[in-house]
Structure 1
Amino acid sequence: MKTLADMVLLGDPRLYEACAPVVEADLPHLAGWVADLHNVMSEVRARYHFGRGIAAPQLGIMKRLVYLNLDRPMVLINPELTDHSEAMFELWDDCMSFPNLLVRVLRHQAVTVRYLDEHWQPQVWPVQDALSELLQHECDHLDGVLCTMRAIDQQSFRWKP
């Protein structure tokens, strides 16, 4: 079982790599990966008091897999964002891979995420505002993009004690 000590931290080259799709041959590993993601997210919440989603590469699992825990746990396999709104908004973004750093970014107000659920069934989920930002952040991880790379300018960084 992976723990917070297994979190891939800022500067690790794996965070800048694009992930491979989850394929049906990976399905026997899925429950273990999801358990690891859930466990580490729980530890982050207990220690740093934030965390709504985690992407598999943050634990060194180089697959297109996102785990969310909002009002209930959700697994997004091979998520793709479509229908990006023209409307944008600014916010201070945080990340479990650098939990004491906030980064000012610009995100789409709304997107649609297409993904496979844990039963390998296709799903379509239109989201906006906070969920839109969260899914853009997590899907960026799958493409090797960090919010530090999306900073609005050089003054868009803040230390969070």
Structure 2
Amino acid sequence: MVKKILLLGEEKLYQKSDLVEKGEDLTETVSDLHDTLMDFKSRYQAGRAIAAPQIGVGKRIIYMYLDRPVVFINPWLEFPDDEEMEVLDDCMSFPNLYVRVKRHRRCVVRYVDMDWKSREMRLEGDLAELLQHEYDHLEGILATMRAVDDKAFCMRGE
């Protein structure tokens, strides 16, 4: 079911998410994340991932859909080096706003999948930035809070 995406300023977006416990039924939440992401993508021609807090679910779940779905449960990020990049970040919770932020160029994400198997993924460039953005949602951090300075904001053009 397509859920309402919480918007900038809504209190639930600023709360740290709880760990998912083994055995929790995530079927409905993952389905809702998928439907909501696909709906957003069809309306805005953008969107590659969504975090559970964006639909009001305070659990550590990230749903990413590129060529296939990947569900990150209880992800943990590590950075193999200090190299950073500056990017214009956008978000489904503020769909017409870009924020200039710094992100690590590379990251390693460790997580469990839907079968509760431990997984690891190494990401670089735009996918590393994407995972860091979604991971921040699990921590109650929005891109607006990571702006490089007070002039780091711009509106999306038509």
The one-letter amino acid of 1:97's match is S
RMSD over aligned Cα atoms: 0.9
Q: CA deviation at 1:24?
A: 1.7
Equivalent in 7, 11, 18 of residue 16 of structure 2: 18
Equivalent in 130, 134, 141 of residue 130 of structure 2: 134
CA distance in 1, matches of 2:18, 2:87: 29
CA distance in 2, matches of 1:134, 1:140: 10
* Structure 2 unaligned spans of 5+: none
Query: Do 1:84 and 1:108's aligned partners in 2 also have CA atoms closer than 8 Å?
Result: no
CA distance in 2, matches of 1:56, 1:83: 23
Q: CA deviation at 1:94?
A: 0.5
Name the residue aligned to 1:87: 83
Q: CA deviation at 1:73?
A: 0.5
SS of the residue 1:75 aligns to: strand
Query: Do 1:65 and 1:76's aligned partners in 2 also have CA atoms closer than 8 Å?
Result: yes
Identity between Structure 1 and Structure 2 (%): 46
**Greater mean deviation of Cα atoms: 63-72 or 82-91:** 82-91
Residues 1:146 and 1:84: Cα distance change in structure 2 (over 3 Å): farther
CA distance in 2, matches of 1:82, 1:89: 16
SS of the residue 1:115 aligns to: strand
Equivalent in 43, 46, 51 of residue 50 of structure 1: 46
Equivalent in 121, 144, 148 of residue 144 of structure 2: 148
The one-letter amino acid of 1:54's match is I
Deviations 1:42-63 (A, max 9, x none): 1111111110100000000000
Query: Do 2:108 and 2:121's aligned partners in 1 also have CA atoms closer than 8 Å?
Result: yes
Equivalent in 97, 100, 104 of residue 93 of structure 2: 97
CA distance in 2, matches of 1:141, 1:41: 15
Question: Is 1:2–2:2 an aligned residue pair?
Answer: yes
* Structure 1 unaligned spans of 5+: none
CA distance in 1, matches of 2:102, 2:6: 24
With structure 1 as the length reference, what TM-score do the two structures score? 0.95
CA distance in 2, matches of 1:103, 1:44: 19
Question: Is 1:31–2:27 an aligned residue pair?
Answer: yes
Equivalent in 42, 48, 64 of residue 60 of structure 2: 64
With structure 2 as the length reference, what TM-score do the two structures score? 0.96
More helix by share: 1
Name the residue aligned to 2:116: 120
CA distance in 2, matches of 1:38, 1:120: 19
